[in-house]
């Protein structure tokens, strides 16, 4: 009798995305009602010319309490590291999708970002993007993840943290169900 075939390892190929690719819609904690709200590019001002997509006008919208605010430019401040909770770069509101672990804070801007982190962590075979590619993106999201998230010995703990983050969505549904 021959042994049962072993399943193919879960493979993750770096899609060369960066953390900036996930800024289209950021889930944040509403400053008024503490529920999930969105920071998105303002569709009514999308026609305005801006020097960079990072500085395009943004709108904070909460479906829970109706709060709406505009960000029209100025400074953008990105969260660095995992020692402190993450905030969105525009309104500096706490990111909704985050949890603390014994190693630091695990966070994501939106579900697509969180899914990318989950797929990377869960994979037993991780393929990096080649540095000589023609995209010019040398520091991808995966390359910039902290060592403790990349470490195989922390895989179970990080995946549990991702699950905890996802349960926060069922506790307070985002305004439009995304």
The predicted pLDDT at position 108 comes to 96
pTM: 0.83
> pLDDT band at 177, cuts 50/70/90?
very low
pLDDT of residue 46: 55
User: Cβ(145)–Cβ(136) under 8 Å?
Assistant: no
Q: Where are the alpha helices (DSSP H) in 20-146?
A: 111-122, 141-144
pLDDT of residue 48: 57
- For β-strands 105-108 and 125-127, DSSP reports them as unpaired
């Amino acid at each position: 009798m021959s042994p049962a075939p072993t399943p193919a390892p879960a493979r993750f190929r770096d899609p060369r995305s960066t953390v900036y690719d996930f800024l289209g819609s950021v889930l944040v904690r509403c400053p008024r009602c503490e529920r999930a709200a969105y920071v998105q590019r303002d569709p009514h001002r999308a026609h305005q010319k801006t020097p960079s997509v990072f500085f395009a006008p943004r709108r904070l919208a909460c479906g829970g309490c109706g709060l709406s605010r505009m960000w029209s430019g100025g400074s953008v401040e990105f969260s660095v590291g995992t020692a402190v909770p993450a905030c969105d770069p525009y309104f500096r509101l706490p990111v909704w999708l985050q949890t603390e672990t014994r190693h630091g804070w695990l966070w994501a801007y939106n579900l697509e970002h969180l899914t990318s982190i989950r797929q990377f962590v869960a994979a037993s075979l991780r393929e990096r993007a080649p540095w000589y590619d023609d995209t010019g993106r040398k520091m991808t999201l995966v390359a910039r993840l902290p060592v403790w998230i990349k470490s195989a010995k922390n895989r179970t703990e990080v995946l549990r943290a991702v699950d905890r983050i996802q349960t926060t969505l069922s506790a307070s549904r985002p305004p439009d169900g995304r």
